[in-house]
Amino acid sequence: MSRIELIATCPMGLEAIVAREIRDLGYNEVTVENGRVRFIGDELAICRANIWLRTADRILVLMGQFKALTFDELFEGTKALSWPDWIPNDAEFPVEGRSHKSQLSSVPACQGIVKKAVVEKMKLRYGTEWFAENGARYVIEIALLNDIATLTIDTTGYSLHKRGYRKLATEAPLKETMAAAMVLLSRWRVDRPLYDPFCGSGTIPIEAAMIGWNIAPGLRRSFPSEEWGNVPFKLWEQARDEAYDAVRDDVPLNIVGSDIDGAAIEVAEAAAKAAGLTKKIKFIVEPVAKARPRGDYGCLITNPPYGERLGELKEVEQTLRQLGAITAPMPSWSMFVLSPTLQLEHYVGRRADKKRKLFNGRIECNLFQFMGPLPPRKPREGN
């Protein structure tokens, strides 16, 4: 096994949760940065991270970092890296790029320079002038930030939030990674009720059920690095076997999602079925004013509608007041609400115990955390 420096990218605000997930996988050399977490792993770590991480977007192999103020510096710095150690001579290797606060601001030009430098390095190893690019896919990224070039290869393909269970979606779906983060940041445990009165296509209840049953989110999808020679397929088989063995599908779930939109509930039920959770989550067509969460010491975890125009904003205000009304007679429950609405505490009639800034896509939000009491501890057997 090799010692490989990896990067898990993530939305701003989720870095600490991603770092905790990585440590839970057994990788302890972790560095938290804005929008990403760097960690040291091996080939098996590529498989485990892609299959297990709930709140990350992509897993990248870090090829190198260097200062690049000119195209010559970018070319020479890129050519100096060990591309043929990863990329075989028949590989497809497109280059993607982005630049922020850097002298080299033309992304297409930077992509072209990087591609040319990688080709020149590979010519030296493989002794050929032309590459067919008809093999496995290795997406290279050049990211420039404050004149520092970071060169990576993407192991993930389409983002990790695409678990594979959601074939359809409502108009403004919450990403699976953010839904999972909301559950992980809450006090919810599998022996407590969970309710989402604005469940839409069911993302929060489904992610909660997957957490409750310890179902790895990437278990049902594929990754381009499964075709890489550097990551033997037996390692993918090992990681998937570990994940299947870790599932706890005998644990009872008490998870309910409701929404006023019947079509959204149909989408939610189809997604739950695709996730292997048929009849394990209860979905109800119901306006928030009639929602009646049952049980004690539960967690209400939700992402209410936002609204942008004046009429919609008034509807949002009314909706949030109704949310406050249904939760008022639930003193043992905790509530976790993701919203950009700064007046949310005023509308629900309670002051949050904590607020955490998160980004739902490009929308700056707060996760308002209203903490109820913890359930009483169960007496130990024999006492």
Q: Other CB atoms closer than 10 Å to residue 261's CB: what's the count?
A: 17
145 plus 197 within the same structural domain: no
By C-alpha distance, which of 272, 214, 268, 232 is closest to 51? 214
In this structure, are 114 and 185 located in the same domain?
Answer: no
pLDDT of residue 380: 67
Q: Which residues contact 317 (CB under 8 A, 6 or more apart)?
A: 343, 347
**Is the residue at 23 inside a domain?**
yes
Helix 43-52, helix 233-246: angle, nearest 10: 40
Helix (H, G, I), strand (E, B) or coil at 368: strand
Q: Given a cut of 60, is residue 309 above it in pLDDT? A: no
> Within this chain, do residues 142 and 209 fall inside the same structural domain, yes or no?
no
The whole-model pTM stands at: 0.94
pLDDT number for residue 308? 62
In a domain, 167, yes or no: no
Let me know whether 73 and 199 are in one domain.
no
pLDDT at 110: 98
Q: Which spans in the chain are helix H?
A: 15-24, 43-52, 71-79, 107-126, 176-185, 203-212, 233-246, 262-274, 310-327, 344-348
The pLDDT-based confidence of 171 (bands split at 50, 70, 90) is: low
Q: Are residues 189 and 313 in the same domain?
A: yes
What are the DSSP calls for 6-57, one per residue?
A: EEEE--TT-HHHHHHHHHHTT---EEEETTEEEEEE-HHHHHHHHHH-SS-S
Same domain, 19 and 88: yes
Same domain, yes or no: 201 and 73: no
In terms of domains, do 255 and 142 share one? no
150 with 200, same domain?
Answer: no
The answer to whether residues 19 and 32 touch, using CB atoms and an 8 Å cutoff, is yes
The tens digit of pLDDT for each residue in 32-76 reads 999 999 999 999 999 999 999 999 999 999 999 999 999 999 999
131 and 207 housed in the same domain: no
Beta strand 30-33 pairing with 4-9: unpaired
Is 314 part of any domain? yes
383 falls within a domain = no
Q: Judge whether 377 lies within some domain.
A: no
Is the domain of 26 the same as that of 98?
yes
Total number of domains in the chain: 2
- Identify whether 223 is part of a domain: no
The token duo for 144 is 């420039």
The mean pLDDT value for 365-376 works out to: 95
Name 373's Cβ contacts closer than 8 Å, sequence gap at least 6. 297, 331, 332
Task: State whether 82 and 197 are in the same domain.
Answer: no
Hey, CA dihedral for 340, 343, 347, 349, is it positive or negative? positive
- The parent domain of residue 127 ranges over 4-154
Task: With respect to residue 89, please indicate whether it lies within any of the assigned structural domains.
Answer: yes
Q: Output the domain CATH number for residue 292.
A: 3.40.50.150
What pLDDT score does 225 carry? 98
Q: What is the pLDDT of residue 29?
A: 98
Evaluate whether residue 296 is within a structural domain: yes
- The CATH number of the domain holding residue 115 is 3.30.2130.30
